[in-house]
């Protein structure tokens, strides 16, 4: 091999060595870059996983909030409906009180003389009106039949009560004295006498237009005295008919519609 050829081979060998060193350096850089990118990818995957978990938690919270919002809307609608019902009931109660007050005032005016003389007591109660009438002015002695004066008084009362929608409880009361022999033939005890007198008053009220379903007869005999039965005057007070006005039972409030039922939480 000539010197020139030798120099050419040596030159090519050096060139190849340089290219090989350059390639090795490039490979080293690519491997380092690959390692860096791998680390970065792992970090990104870890961050993505954390974000996925956080997103899932937020999605569940959002679903729960939507469910709570729907439930609150239903509850609010239900409370609004109950508020309207309460306001209507309050308005109705006020109307009933106004009507009772008007009836009380009119009864006091119509029966002024009887009230003034102490033959009748009229009292406005929280739940209605109490009219107490002495047996002595509406029944003949020892009888369950109305006398003319008693009929007139009860007709005045009936004209006012027929305007109302309240239930009417007619109570019969006696003193604690036993019945005379002549009375015991018809009324074995004060129970029967008080019941018969209360029933007679109730029958007159129905005859004057008060519906029978509003009326009720109760006998208390001598067991609800107003005063002690220790004198003739007191016993006279205890022999009485009490007429009690009470609000009629209302229809129960219907349950809320199905749409007002809060949804079950997911």
DSSP per-residue string spanning the chain: --HHHHHHHHHHHHHHHHHHHHHHHHHHHHHHHHHHHHHHHHHHHHHHHHHHHHHHHHHHHHHHHHHHHHHHHHHHHHHHHHHHHHHHHHHHHHHHHHHHHHHHHHHHHHTHHHHHTTSEEEEE-SSSEEEEEEHHHHB-TT-SSBPHHHHHHHHHHHHHHTT--SEEEEEEE--SPPPPHHHHTT-SSHHHHHHHHHHHHHHHHHHTT--GGGEEEEEEETSS-SS-SSSHHHHHHHSEEEEEEEPPPPPPPPPPPGGGSPPPP-
Print pLDDT tens along the chain (266 aa): 688 877 787 788 888 888 888 888 888 888 888 888 888 888 998 889 889 999 999 999 999 999 999 999 999 999 998 899 888 888 887 887 888 888 889 888 888 888 888 778 999 888 789 999 988 889 876 688 898 888 988 998 898 889 888 899 999 999 999 888 878 888 999 999 999 999 999 999 999 999 999 999 999 999 999 999 999 999 988 999 999 988 776 554 454 444 444 444 44
Domain ranges of the chain: 1-96, 111-246
Instruction: Determine the CATH number of domain 111-246.
Output: 3.30.1330.60
Q: What is the pTM of this model?
A: 0.61
């Amino acid at each position: 091999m000539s010197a020139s050829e030798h120099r050419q081979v040596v030159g090519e060998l050096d060139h190849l060595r340089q290219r090989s060193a350059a390639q090795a350096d490039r490979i080293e850089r690519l491997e380092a870059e690959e390692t860096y990118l791998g680390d970065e990818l792992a970090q990104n995957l870890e961050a993505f996983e954390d974000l996925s978990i956080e997103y899932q938690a937020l999605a569940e919270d959002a679903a729960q909030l939507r469910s709570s919002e729907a439930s609150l809307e239903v509850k609010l609608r239900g409370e609004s409906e109950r508020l309207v019902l309460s306001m209507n009931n309050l308005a109705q109660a006020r109307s009933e009180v106004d009507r009772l007050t008007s009836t009380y005032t009119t009864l006091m005016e119509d029966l002024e003389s009887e009230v003034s003389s102490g033959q009748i007591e009229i009292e406005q109660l929280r739940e209605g009106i109490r009219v107490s009438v002495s047996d002595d002015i509406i029944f003949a002695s020892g009888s369950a039949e109305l006398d003319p004066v008693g009929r007139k008084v009860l007709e005045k009362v009936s004209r006012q009560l027929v305007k109302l929608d309240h239930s009417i409880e007619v109570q019969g009361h006696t003193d604690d004295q036993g019945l005379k022999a002549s009375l015991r033939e018809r009324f074995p005890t004060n129970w029967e006498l008080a019941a018969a007198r209360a029933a007679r008053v109730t029958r007159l009220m129905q005859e004057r237009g008060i519906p029978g379903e509003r009326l009720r007869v109760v006998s208390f005999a001598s067991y609800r005295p107003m005063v002690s039965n220790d004198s003739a005057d007191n016993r006279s007070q205890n022999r009485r008919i009490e007429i009690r006005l009470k609000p009629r039972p209302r229809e129960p409030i219907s349950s809320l519609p199905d749409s007002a039922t809060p949804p079950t939480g997911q």
